[in-house]
Amino acid sequence: MPLQPLPETGQETGIDLGIESFATLADGTIIHNPRCYRRAERRLKTAQRRVSRRKKGSNRRRKAVRLLAKAHQTVKRQRADFQHKTALQLIRVHDVIYFEDLQTANLVKNHHLAKSISDAGWGQFLSILSFKAACAGRRVVAVPPAYTSQICSGCGVMVHKGLSVRWHTCPECGTSLHRDHNAAKNIERAGQALQGGVALAAS
């Protein structure tokens, strides 16, 4: 039983977790990465460099190590704070949220992308989202990945494009939208087609 059920909204969405932006929803809403991330990450790099320059065993190095640990904590706290706020907002306005099960996606086989995925903290975000959803009686449903970025959300044909191609333009039906928006629409549709998919929030 949900602890704090929210009133039904009749709304569902697909969420595409991105690299450029944090996420895109099926209705085209873009959730940007907060600006404070970059600032905090710059500070973290500076702190790291400082540690490596200081002589081992010196007091100056010990102090630099302390500062580095603090910078790490700041990044972690900011990320968690952003993820909690984002998850709460999402479950307030949607009864069901579909996401692509990236664990099995080809995406993680790609080294660079795998790093971006772990940097973006998607795994942590999805567990926060699932937990909040369960408390509120919402559903967060994993959809197996199936060409969500290649298929045209307008007509269903395959429109092959490399990762650098950020815009989806369909030669068949003329659908034209950001590739992440196109993917989010496909994720929502795939989730709805997948009757009773693996509901992570059901526990």
Q: Which residues pair with 178 in a beta bridge?
A: 167
172 binds Zn ion (CB under 5 A): yes
150 binds Zn ion (CB under 5 A): no
170 binds Zn ion (CB under 5 A): yes
- The answer to whether the beta carbons of residues 96 and 191 sit under 8 Å apart is yes
Residue with tokens 């099926």: 26
- Catalytic-role residue among 100, 101, 119, 188: 100
Is 81 tagged catalytic?
no
Is 100 tagged catalytic?
yes
According to DSSP H, which parts of 31-58 are helical?
35-53
121 binds Zn ion (CB under 5 A): no
167 binds Zn ion (CB under 5 A): no
Q: Which is nearer to Zn ion, 61 or 161 (CB)?
A: 161
Is 180 tagged catalytic?
yes
Sheet containing 139-143: which strands, arranged edge to edge?
30-31, 23-25, 12-17, 96-100, 139-143
Among 88, 114, 146, 173, binds Zn ion (CB under 5 A): 173
According to DSSP H, which parts of the chain are helical?
35-53, 59-93, 111-120, 122-136, 179-193
Q: Which is nearer to Zn ion, 23 or 152 (CB)?
A: 152
175 binds Zn ion (CB under 5 A): yes
**Sign of the C-alpha dihedral computed for residues 112, 116, 118 and 122 taken in this order:** negative
Q: Which is nearer to Zn ion, 14 or 197 (CB)?
A: 14
> What is the binding site for Zn ion (CB under 5 A)?
152, 154-155, 170, 172-173, 175
Question: Looking at the annotation, which residues are catalytic?
Answer: 16, 100, 180
